[in-house]
Amino acid sequence: MDRQILVCDDDPEIRAAMRRTLHRFQVTAVESAEEALAILRERRFDALVSDFNLGESHGDGLELLQMARVLYPAMARFLVTGNTELQVAIRALNEGAVHRFFQKPWDDEQLVTSLEIVIRQVAAATP
């Protein structure tokens, strides 16, 4: 079964790197929270992987993941960021917006394995 992963990052090079890392999944990549929310209304995804910094005009990825938690609770949510501020990770985990937090540059195998595990856990926990 092909897992559907939505990647949201404003940097085209990061989107391309994510596609390479997640090559065993069906990956759709968008550059803004607005695009992510629009495609989430049209299609079902197993996971959303978002950058924290989505550019000045796009808000932040944590807000996107918080909305996704409410609207699509059966979807795994990952935050990937180059932001080294510990408060971002603490806020993300404490607010329940994310299942996993990764810093850039991420470890490819660890990200893929974590996605597979969390997708199964979320699916099993969803009625």
Q: pLDDT digits over 87-122, tens only?
A: 877 888 788 889 998 989 999 999 999 999 999 999
Average pLDDT over all residues of the chain: 91
**Spatial distance between the Cα atoms of 101 and 13, rounded to a whole number of angstroms:** 20
Element (H, E) at 114: helix 108-125
Chain Cα centroid distance, residue 113: 14
Domains of the chain listed by start with CATH number: 7-125 (3.40.50.2300)
Going along 9-119, which residue ranges are E strands?
A: 26-30, 47-51, 76-81, 100-103
Instruction: Give the pLDDT of residue 112.
Output: 97
User: Residue holding tokens 């695009």?
Assistant: 35
- How much is the CA Rg of the chain, to the nearest whole Å? 13
What is the pTM assigned to this prediction? 0.93
